Amino acid sequence: MTPCSGLYVVEKGRFRITSYHEDGNEKQIYIAEEGSLCGESECISSLPYMTTALAITNSTVYHIPVTDLFNKMAQSPNLTRLLLEYEVRKNAMLQNQLLSLSFDNASIRIARTLLDLCQRYGRQNQSGTRLTVKFTKSDIAGLVGTSRVTASSEFTKLERNGWISKKNGFPSL
């Protein structure tokens, strides 16, 4: 594991945040978008980075060294409060993801993820909601903790039932 040198702020773009198990398996944790923080938990707890980030679009990030972060937090109680609120929201998102992985089958996790992606990246059109960014079946599989084969099978069922369609790599619901 890499020692924590600071946190990263996503100014532009999107990153896939992934964790790796000692056996080499990976789990996509979440997608970090504009305004997201990465590595802040490790900074606060003085632990090594627990995840890796991979840019999935053209992106710009800023690095804030640990010492700068702690100095700013000491000077600004408002910044500390905002960081705490961010951590609480992130924790709630991760807890919901854990509960979904524990209790929902792959079909439900994929359907919920597609609905969530439509809320965040969807644009209404005459046939429903079309995603404005591309997500591969592998991306979806990583987000919901299943295999690409399972995700592909579920997409086929959803398309066959008329619940989703895909045009030029952009799904519509």
What pLDDT score does 49 carry?
87
Distance from C-alpha of 146 to C-alpha of 173, rounded to nearest angstrom: 21
pLDDT (tens digit, 9 = 90+) per residue, 85-101? Answer: 999 998 898 888 788 87
DSSP at 93: H
What pLDDT score does 68 carry?
95
pLDDT (tens digit, 9 = 90+) per residue, 147-173? Answer: 889 988 988 898 888 888 777 766 777
pTM: 0.69
Q: What is the Cβ-side half-sphere exposure of residue 171, based on CA atoms within 13 angstroms?
A: 25
List beta partners, residue 60. 12
